[in-house]
Amino acid sequence: MSRFSSEKALIKGCRKGKRQAQQQVYEQYSPKMFAVCLRYVRHQFDAEEVMTNGFLKVFNKIDQFKEEGSFEGWIRRIMVNEALNHLRKNKMQQSEVDIENTKEVAEYAEAESNLNAEDLMKCVNQLPDGYRTVFNLYAIEGYSHKEIAEKLGISTNTSKSQLSRARVLLQKYVSEQEKKTFSLDHHD
């Protein structure tokens, strides 16, 4: 099996429908894209399904890639949209939150964390679906509240409120996780 030496050659190969190019794209990007999918859907099986459907879209829509941004970024957007579609299909419950409390909630102090990435992801995955989705879109993917509101069919205030609540819960989860880690470290 021949390897494609550059990203441009790889994209060109995919546009021509070459299986080797598609395989190389999958091998190169699937670990990162699986992590992206897993941030939105909690279960490994669902994340694998979302990722597979996402790569099918990547290969079917490769002609739409304009080469203006990064190829990886384009693939990531497809994966995020596929994950959101999966959540929508599974009737994700968007919990509406009291807007009045957001001022005090937004003023929380972020906990300094000595946790590793895996422990942090466990904390993120404990969040309720709506909070987790908004947190991922805003904090990790870099979408604005306006873009999140449009993608999820919610108001910008709901997006802001869910992000605030997600941060408060994350702070609580991180503190609990740090206590567990601290107590394990100091029991010789």
Residue at 108 is within a domain: no
Encode pLDDT of 8-21 as tens digits: 899 999 999 999 99
pTM value? 0.63
Segments forming the whole domain that contains residue 176: 114-187
Residue at 109 is within a domain: no
**Domains of the chain: total:** 2
pLDDT at 79 over 60: yes
- 90, 148: one domain: no
- 16, 74: one domain: yes
Tokens standing for 183? 């107590």
- 141, 168: one domain: yes
- Cβ-proximal residues to 143 (8 Å cutoff; 6+ apart), any chain: 137, 151
Instruction: Give 67's DSSP letter.
Output: S
Closest CA to 117 of 177, 159, 70, 61: 177
Encode pLDDT of 99-145 as tens digits: 333 333 333 323 333 456 677 777 888 888 889 999 889 888 888 99
CA–centroid distance for 186 within its chain: 34
Residue at 103 is within a domain: no
- 73, 130: one domain: no
Residue at 102 is within a domain: no
